Structure 1
Amino acid sequence: MFLDFKFVFFGSLVTLSLIPLYIYRKEIYKRFSKKGNLKVFIKDLKAYLTYNYPKINFNFDIVEKLDEKDLLKTKQILIIEDLARQFVYFEYELSTQKGVPKEKLWSSYDQNSTLHKDNKFPIDWPQRKEAAWNREEGNCNRCGTKTKLVDANALLAKQMKNGGGFNLENVVILCNDCARIIKSQNLEKTKKDLNFLDKLMKKVSY
């Protein structure tokens, strides 16, 4: 009987101690979320960006400007939006690239490298794209991210209207995001639709 009384007594104490936690659970969550572990999040972002976008040197200066009162989620989103801005406005110009060893070229290469009057792409354009992609080892020339051949974009460094031909030195390989940025007439609108932004947003704590 004595043991039963002690069990009930201590059980009641535990229950009473949990009631305030339940009542103020939302406030406790808010306080925890505001503090959070932003350092771990930033460390993860830096590792991810260095590995996947090695040609862009991202900075995290925005962290110093964040309001400490904000929730962790809010801070994460602000950081990611700033990284997306850096990605979009990264200075880059299409330029001629190194060539490919002659032994890797095909019989019709020279003939089809010259710009024709109709400005049509040569029949061996897919072969040229693949050769340029292999030259870059599948990496985007702008950001350095790995891209599959089927997803890669092959652009001309010197446009046809300016006399650019189809020689491999004039073919530049870009990922989908970078190609969209290069072609964009509205960078702010383009920024919202990038795979880059979608991938980073998946790292936000919800």
Structure 2
Amino acid sequence: MGRVIDVRRSGERYRGGDPAAGIESLHAFSFGPHYDPDNLRFGAVIACNEERLAPGAGFDEHPHSHTEIVTWVVSGELTHRDSAGHESVVRPGDVQRLSSAGGVRHVERNDGAEPLVFVQMWLAPLSPGGDPAYEIVHGIADSTPYAVPEAGAMLHVRRLGAGERTAVPDGAYVYIHAVRGEVLLDGTELGPGDSARLTDAKDLEAVGVSAAELLIWEMAG
């Protein structure tokens, strides 16, 4: 089939959440009451949600199963508690992963004084079931890959200055989410909240138009 680049703009995302409760959500894939049979997943990625929580707002205890949940805080602080006994505060630069496996419940809240913005990505595991697991990596370094072997995926965090270049990983499926700033990808500009879905990615690079931050998922076929 050859390389395919499918760019999705921030303004195309489905708006959800509960604004009256201080929760605003932007969904890049079919989610909840917004069902789109043509946008269920890309590679292992089944959700990429940008969540905005006002101080004191949050998601009360709710269940997950058979999903790898990876969270990236853009600004503010996220308080996490789960039924396996884990409790942590996730800050910008931290990577948090909750492997819900056969089933787990958790709470996510903004217990801080400032607004919270985070990107949460859900990946489908290669095999269902198993025991829940939790991990947090504080202050992950630029270009340090974070492996999610349960989903056959690797997360790359890339931070670019204006004019800086970075190679895009080669892969059967590559998903790029622009967290902040503007970048050029194969001649197409991506801004905050934009994403690109790459099939058969090879020999591509991203160039910072301004200072920028990218989340890049490299996935096997």
- Structure 1 and Structure 2 fold alike (TM over 0.5): no
TM-score (norm 1): 0.23
Structure 1 or 2: more strand by fraction: 2
Q: Which has the larger radius of gyration?
A: 1
